Amino acid sequence: MERSLAQGLGMSEAFLRSGQLKTMQTVALVPPETPSQVLSDPEQGGVTTRERALEILTAFVNERCANSQHCTLLVEDELLHSDDDYFRKTQFAAPVFVSGLDVYHWLHVRRDTSVREIASLLTEATSGYPTNMFLLTDASEQRVTGMNSLPSVIARDVDAVIVSAYDDEAFIAAITSR
């Protein structure tokens, strides 16, 4: 988890600086039948299929957001910068916001957000590693995307941090006790 966040953008940096990760519970988002010896090394593959991993991720996100009025899944784009020609010329399917040169893609999560919606967000936002996602609860879209949306401000609303693991076949989440 920390290794992925250490390679991330401003949001990851702000979150690590906040110290919140030390107080969070870490869970592997993998099929329940996954052998524990496989889980001991999050850099190795052989855990599940990408489709099943996305189903588990979607169920996790929907469950965490079930009682929240506003819930946003924010994904760092580790390759794209706001000064890239590609960024200026591309119409993205998911909304984006910029902080400095960093580009973030986001999705407003409803109680019935689909696997397809999350898969589309991830396909557009990340190449695989690091994949750093932040699940924000009770943070309105205006707060997330507003002019003053500095990563250090948004980091306060993090309910869960999700990173790719197991050779980009599955995910690990750190969750708050909320």
d(CA 59, CA 56): 5
pTM: 0.90
For the segment 98-140, what is each residue's pLDDT rounded down to a tens digit?
A: 888 999 999 999 888 999 999 999 999 988 778 999 998 875 5
The residue range of the domain holding 76 is 2-175
pLDDT tier at 147, thresholds 50, 70, 90: very low
Note every long-range contact of 44-51, with CB atoms under 8 Å and residues 24 or more positions apart, other chains counting: 44/166, 44/167, 45/166, 45/167, 45/168, 45/169, 46/166, 46/167, 46/169, 47/166, 47/167, 47/169, 47/170, 48/166, 48/169, 48/170, 49/169, 50/169, 51/115
Say how many domains are in the chain. 1
Query: What's the pLDDT score for residue 177?
Result: 73
Stretch among 48-57, 129-138, 152-161 having the lowest mean pLDDT: 152-161
pLDDT in tens, 55-84: 999 999 999 998 888 889 999 999 999 999
